[in-house]
Amino acid sequence: MSAPWAEWDHIVKLDPDKSLVDGESYADVCETGTDAIEIGGTTGMTEAKMTEVIEPCAAAGREHDVPVYIEPSHPGTVVHTDGLSGYLVPTVFNAGDIAWLTGVHKEWARMDTEIDWDRTHTEAYIVLNPDSSVAEYTQANCDLDADEVAAYATIAERLFGQEIVYLEYSGTFGDPEVVTAASDALDDATLFYGGGIGDYDTAHEMGGRADTVIVGDLVHDEGCDAVRETVRGAKEAGQERIEPDR
């Protein structure tokens, strides 16, 4: 049985430190057509902020049959509540600070007695925007060429058994050739791409190279109509990957 994310073309990532556009709800986000919702962020994360978003979002996800996952940035942001599909936990392969490979994860296992390991999965992050908060936070080495990114993707899948490899350009549109190189390096792992997806064209461009496109800031800045266009772009690109001669 394949993992659920193997079928995803599009994810909306909600930042609990940001608000939705006035007048929009988590039900509206679910109705964009996205395949899944992740809840998490890099800065300003607290348990209270996570809870405020997770509970109504999980309820909307149940109603609209959209899976909802927490993406925790540190142990204090993990919330256990009914309706969650699980936890997608980043481990940053090009981090300069080893805490973001295993250290923070060790602390979570030490502090949290309620971890549902059957629903807890890792994402092999490769952070590629040196100006992003996540790069600063993890001291990531972002000065990587396509071959190096492909090598990280290879070891993530082959040596460490990662089922998800996540190219994180965080707020800027990435290099399509780098994304293609990472995709070509993988056999069975699912390639997530995040960064600078703001319309149909950018979603279609990266959706033709990565398996799954992730939209974050757009839902907070421009709202669900804009997100819906990225869903259309990602899904049409995904269909073209399946039927390349159509």
Q: Where do we find the tokens 């979002």?
A: 57
Does residue 15 have a known ligand-binding role?
A: yes
Residues 6+ apart with CB under 8 A from 117: none
Does residue 87 have a known ligand-binding role?
A: no
Q: How far is CA 239 from CA 35, 97, 142, 234, 245, in A?
A: 14, 39, 31, 9, 11
Does residue 85 have a known ligand-binding role?
A: no
Does residue 168 have a known ligand-binding role?
A: yes
Does residue 233 have a known ligand-binding role?
A: no
Does residue 218 have a known ligand-binding role?
A: no
Does residue 18 have a known ligand-binding role?
A: no
Does residue 25 have a known ligand-binding role?
A: no
**What are residue 120's phi and psi, to 5 degrees?**
-110, 125
Residue-wise DSSP of 64-115: HT--EEE--SSGGG----TT--EEEEEEETT-SSGGGTTHHHHHHHHH-TT-
For the chain, the 3-state helix, strand and coil shares in percent, each to the nearest 5, are 45, 15, 40
Distance separating the N- and C-terminal Cα atoms of the chain: 28
Q: Which helix (DSSP H) or strand (DSSP E) does residue 11 occupy?
A: strand 10-14
Q: Could you give the 3-state DSSP secondary structure of residue 193?
A: strand
Does residue 177 have a known ligand-binding role?
A: no
State the Cα–Cα distance between residues 16 and 19, nearest whole angstrom: 7
Does residue 171 have a known ligand-binding role?
A: yes
Q: Could you give the 3-state DSSP secondary structure of residue 122?
A: strand
Residues of each annotated binding site for sn-glycerol 1-phosphate: 13, 166-171, 196, 216-217
Residues of each annotated binding site: 13, 15, 42, 166-171, 196, 216-217
Residues of each annotated binding site for Mg(2+): 15, 42
